[in-house]
Structure 1
Amino acid sequence: MFLKKPCMTSAESYPIQIARLKTEIETADAIVIGAGAGMSVSAGLTYNGERFKKYFSDFHDKYGISDMYAGGFYPYDTLEEYWAWWSRHILVNRYEVSAGKPYSDLFSLVKDKEYFVLTTNVDHQFQLAGFDKTRLFYTQGDYGLWQCSEACHDKTYDNKEMVYRMASEQRDMKIPAELVPKCPVCGRPMTMNLRCDDTFVQDEGWYAAAARYDDFIRRCEERHVLFMELGVGGNTPGIIKYPFWKMTAKNPQAVFACVNYGEAVCPKEIACRSVCINGDIGKVIDDLL
C-alpha cells in the first residue's frame, strides 16, 4: 500500500507545524492517540543513566546490568532475586511516581474532545494524569498486574500490596522465599503481565478495552479524525504506527500527526494530510497549550 521508504515531512517551520496541529486538535471530530515509550521518556521516566543508578546500582555492580530494560530480562539464579529486581522496578515506575507533565498537559489538551488512547506503555501514566479508564487500551500489559508464568488460566492479579512487601523486606538483593508469588491454580511461579512471548495473558479487562477501541475506530471511519502518534518507535510498528497510516489513507477526512524526536515520519501517500514534528513531546504539547 505504501512505498517502502517513509519520508520526512519537516519542510515547514516549527511554528507553522504547531499552528497546524493545534488547528487539527481543535477542529477534529475525534482524536485517536497512539503513545509509545518516547512519551514516558519525555516525562522523565528514563530507564538508564542517573535514574537507573539511583535504584539499581547494586544490580549493576553484581551483574553489570546497564539499564532497567535489560534488568527485566536478566536470567537471575533464583526467584528471590528475580522478584527483588521486579518489586523495585514496579515500585519506582508504577506506584511511587506521579503523572509526568507531558501526560498531564496532553490531558488538558484533549479532555473536552472525543478521544481514545492506544498505548504500548505499561506504566499507568495515562490514568495517573486523569484520562478516563474506559478510553484507554493498554495492549502490552501493566506493571500493576501479575499472571501465571505458564498462562494456565486467563486471569491477572493486582500486585500492589505484595510489591510493597517485597520492596521493604528484601535484603542483599533477595526477597524472603515465602513472598515468591505462586499461581493459585497450578502452583507454578507467577510472572509479570507483560507481552514478551506467547504466554502473555489477555484477560477479561484486556478484551473489554480492545472492544471499546474497535468500536471507537468504527465510529470514526467517515469523520474528521486526528490520528496522533506520540513517541512510537520501530519495535512494534504493527500496533500503532502502521494501522494509523492505513486508517489515515483510507479516510479522506483523516489527518495523521507524529511527534517524535528523530523519528517523525510518514509515508508519501499521506504526507499532504500529515503533520510530523521532530522534537521533544513535552515541549511540543506545552507549545500547543
Structure 2
Amino acid sequence: MRRLDLAGSTTVITGAASGMGADIARLLAARGAHLALVDHNAEALDALAAEISSATTVTTHVVDLRDDDAVVAASALIADAHPHINALITCAGSSMLGSIDQLTMEEMRWLTDVNLWGTVSITQALLPALRREPAAHITHLASVYALAAPAGRIPYALSKYAVRGFSEALRHELEGTTVSVGAVYPAGVRTGIILHGRYAAAIDPAVAARAASAQAAMYHTEPKDAAARIVRATERREARTMVGREARLIDVLTRLAPVSYWKAMRRPLRDAIDTTTPVS
C-alpha cells in the first residue's frame, strides 16, 4: 500500500484542542502538514492555532460533533479551505464513570453521541474530499477498552467497541479504493481524559474523584509519545495500532482468554471501578 505523505496536504484532527489531538497537531505542523483543527473549545483551539500557525496553514472549526448539521456545515467549510485533504484523525471523545445501576439512559446516550456518532458523522461528511486524493487514510482513536470491557465503564466500552466495529466495517467497504482506514487502541495515556470526564450524577463527587484518580495513576504513556505513534500509523496507513505496553498486553490477554480475561484485570482496576464505597 502506498505510504501517505502528510507534508503539503491537509490533515483534519478532531478533539484537537487538547491531549493527543493537540500533540498530533504540533507534530504535523512541524512536518509541514496543513491542518484543519476541530473542537468544541474555541478558546483552547485558538490558542493552539496561534502556537503553530507560523509553521503551516491552519484553520480552526468550533463544532459540537453531536450536531450532525453542524458537522456537515463545518466539513464543507474545511473542504473549501483545504483543496487536498488526505488524512482524518478522530481524537474527540470523553469518558463516563458509573455502574449500570448508577447511570441514566441520557448519560449513556450523551457519551455515545460524543464518542461514536461524532466520529461517524465527520467521517461520512469528509469522505468525498478524501476520495478525491490519490491516497488518503482515516485514523479513528478507539481505546484499549475496545479490546477489553471492564466493569464500571459500560458507556465508554460500548462506544469504543462500536468505533472499532465502524472502523473495521468501513475499511472493508473502502477496500480497493484510494482511502484506507485504521483504528488505534491507546492505553494509559496521560491526557487527563479520566480526570476531566463525566461521571453518573448518582455518584458522590468525592467517590468519583477517587476512582478517576486511581485510574489516572495507572497511566504511563506521555501524550507526545502516543501522538508520534498515531502519526506514524497514519503515514503507514496501518489497520490496527496498539499504543502503550498495556494495550499490547491486553490485546494478547483477550486473544488467549476471550471469556475469562476479566479475572486478570479485576484486581489492578479494583479502585478505579469502585464508585460506591464512601470516602472515609
TM-score by length of 2: 0.38
TM-score by length of 1: 0.37
If asked which structure has higher relative contact order (CA below 8 Å, sep 6+), I would say 1
When Rg is computed on C-alpha atoms for both structures, the one with the higher figure is: 1
